[in-house]
């Protein structure tokens, strides 16, 4: 009998809630079939089976939360005849021992798939599991060409799949609350924060924005936050230590993916990432916001959007608080906060005037950087916002 376990889908996944069984007792399953849907902190995930056989028993009821590694179902492997099964029940123990972890199970299965060393390496590099590839070499071994074929196919499928995922990925508000609780507690527990604040004159930026918007259709007009995002991305190019994660040490990230905090109508937040914000134009960033904000509120985000952030921006918008001091989203090492924009008396060149001003803050992970870095970052951010045309 094969035990089907609650899979470990990520190093930080500890448990999952079995939302729905996609197969019933007596159903036959084969490798790659979706057997259930599991709710995780990252949303609803379809889980697949790596064995062939008939479902003997579903052990966990829908709606039950269980730790990773829990036996969810028993599968009667197809190769084993009834007689053998009766005669040698004891021999099943080694299998049980071996399959205590889903990952191991998968790895072991791959050993039996014949693939050329080159093909194996290519598949690994492209994160393609060997069982997904049909071999055309000696004895059905997977060759370089076979892998190349799958890569080409996947690029097409990936696009289609995203659409499907978008529709399907729904997380409950309780799950979201729990995820926030877990992440923020972890942050507070593990990250020694330092906080900095900088008052930034936005007069030029808003004037530029107004002029820019005059030439745009209503639906593509730019919001001030687009300038914030773009300015942060540009500034981060000079501060790689802030665009990073902490994983037993500082690990700067190549891509600048700015997590943008979206408040949900029924409470809770979602933080979808704006991928490679430094490479996007302000219009592209606006388009992205127009896409992800409604989806975030509908809880229809892709898992990559939820997990790829390398730094977070929280912006209060109109009528909000004057300043926000964020809690870093681990394993990131910084969060930038923008309070609401307000008209304030502002001294410049010895003259007092009224200006549009915003309070920008930075909360930094003191293990990763020091206040000086953060301070220099805010100064450059302020300067960049004085030149909106070059953002």
Partner 1 sequence: MENPVMNTTLTYREALKQGIREALQNDKDVFLMGEDVGRYGGAFAVSKGLLQEFGEERIMDVPLSESGFVGAGIGAALAGMKPIVEVMTVNFSLLAMDQIVNNAATLQHMSGGQLHVPLVIRMGCGISKQLGAQHSHSWEPFYAHIPGLVVLSAGTHEDARGMLRLALLSPDPVVLFEYTGMLNLEKEVAVDSDILDISKAKVLKKGKDITIITYGIGVYKCLDAAAELATVGIDAEVIDLRVLRPLDEFTFLASVAKTHRAIIVEDAWRSVSVSSEVSARIMEKTFYDLDAPVLRLCGIEVPIPYPAHLEEAAVPQIQDIVNAVKKMIHHD
Two tokens, residue 102 = 């889903």
Pairwise CA distance, residues 104 & 111, whole Å: 11
Query: Per CB under 8 A, does 121 bind partner 1?
Result: yes
Cβ proximity to partner 1: between 137 and 320 the closer is 137
Query: Per CB under 8 A, does 119 bind partner 1?
Result: yes
With CB under 8 A as the contact rule, which of the stretches 61-69, 116-124, 203-211, 353-361 interacts with partner 1? Answer: 116-124
Binding flags for partner 1, 127-146, as an x/- string (CB under 8 A):
---------xxx--x-xx--
Task: Give least dist CB 184 to partner 1, A.
Answer: 44
b/e code 24-36 from CB counts within 10 Å (16+ = b): eeeeebeeeeebb
In this structure, are residues 331 and 171 in contact, taking their beta carbons and an 8 Å threshold? no
Task: Give least dist CB 109 to partner 1, A.
Answer: 21
Radius of gyration of the chain from its Cα atoms, rounded to whole angstroms:
26
Cβ proximity to partner 1: between 29 and 119 the closer is 119
Cβ proximity to partner 1: between 117 and 345 the closer is 117
Pairwise CA distance, residues 108 & 105, whole Å: 5
Query: Per CB under 8 A, does 149 bind partner 1?
Result: no
Cβ proximity to partner 1: between 10 and 137 the closer is 137
Cβ proximity to partner 1: between 111 and 156 the closer is 111
Task: Give least dist CB 151 to partner 1, A.
Answer: 15
Cα 42 to the center of its chain, rounded Å: 8
Cα 259 to Cα 154, 282, 290, 337, distances in angstroms:
27, 16, 15, 12
Query: Per CB under 8 A, does 363 bind partner 1?
Result: no
Task: Give least dist CB 143 to partner 1, A.
Answer: 5
Query: Per CB under 8 A, does 116 bind partner 1?
Result: yes
Cβ proximity to partner 1: between 34 and 118 the closer is 118
DSSP line for 166-227: HHH----HHHHHHHHHHHHHHHHHH--EEEEEEEEE-HHHHHHHHHHHHTS-GGGPPPHHHH
In this structure, are residues 289 and 270 in contact, taking their beta carbons and an 8 Å threshold? no
Element (H, E) at 373: helix 371-385
With CB under 8 A as the contact rule, which of the stretches 8-16, 118-126, 200-208, 223-231 interacts with partner 1? Answer: 118-126
Size of the site for partner 1 (CB under 8 A): 12
In angstroms, the first-to-last Cα distance of the chain is: 61
Q: How many C-beta neighbours within 10 Å does residue 176 have?
A: 19
Task: Give least dist CB 145 to partner 1, A.
Answer: 8
Query: Per CB under 8 A, does 85 bind partner 1?
Result: no
Residues that bind partner 1 (CB under 8 A): 116-121, 136-138, 141, 143-144
């Amino acid at each position: 009998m094969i035990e089907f376990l609650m899979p470990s889908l990520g190093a930080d996944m500890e448990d999952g809630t079995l939302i729905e069984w996609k197969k019933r007792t007596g159903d036959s399953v084969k490798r790659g079939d979706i057997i259930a849907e599991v709710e995780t902190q990252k949303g609803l995930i379809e889980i697949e089976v790596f064995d062939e056989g008939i479902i003997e028993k579903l052990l966990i009821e829908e709606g039950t939360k269980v730790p990773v590694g829990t036996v969810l179902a028993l599968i009667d492997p197809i190769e084993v005849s009834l007689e053998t099964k009766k005669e040698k029940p004891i021999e099943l123990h080694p299998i049980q021992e071996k399959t205590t972890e889903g990952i191991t199970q998968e790895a072991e299965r791959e050993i039996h798939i014949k693939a050329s060393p080159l093909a194996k390496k290519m598949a690994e590099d492209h994160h393609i599991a060997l069982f997904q590839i049909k071999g055309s070499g000696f004895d059905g071994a997977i060759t370089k060409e076979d892998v190349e074929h799958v890569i080409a196919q996947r690029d097409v499928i990936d696009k289609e799949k995203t659409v499907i995922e978008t529709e399907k990925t729904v997380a409950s508000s309780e799950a979201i609350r729990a995820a926030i609780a877990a992440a923020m507690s972890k942050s507070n527990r593990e990250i020694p924060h330092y906080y900095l604040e900088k008052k930034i004159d936005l007069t030029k930026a808003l004037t530029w924005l107004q002029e820019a918007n005059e030439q745009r259709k209503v639906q593509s007009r730019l919001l001030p936050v687009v300038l914030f995002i773009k300015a942060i991305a540009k500034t981060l190019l000079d501060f790689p230590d802030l665009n990073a994660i902490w994983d037993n040490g500082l690990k700067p990230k190549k891509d600048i993916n700015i997590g943008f905090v979206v408040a949900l109508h029924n409470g809770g937040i979602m933080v979808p990432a704006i991928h490679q914000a430094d490479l996007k134009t302000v219009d592209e960033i606006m388009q992205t916001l127009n896409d992800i904000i409604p989806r975030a509120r509908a809880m229809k985000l892709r898992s990559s959007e939820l997990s790829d952030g390398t730094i977070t921006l929280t912006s209060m918008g109109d009528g909000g608080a004057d300043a926000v001091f964020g809690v870093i989203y681990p394993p990131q090492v910084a969060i930038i906060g923008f309070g609401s924009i307000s008209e304030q008396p502002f001294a410049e060149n010895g003259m007092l005037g009224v200006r549009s001003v915003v309070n920008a803050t930075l909360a930094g992970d003191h293990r990763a950087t020091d206040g000086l870095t953060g301070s220099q970052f805010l100064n450059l951010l302020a300067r960049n916002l004085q030149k909106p045309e070059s953002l």
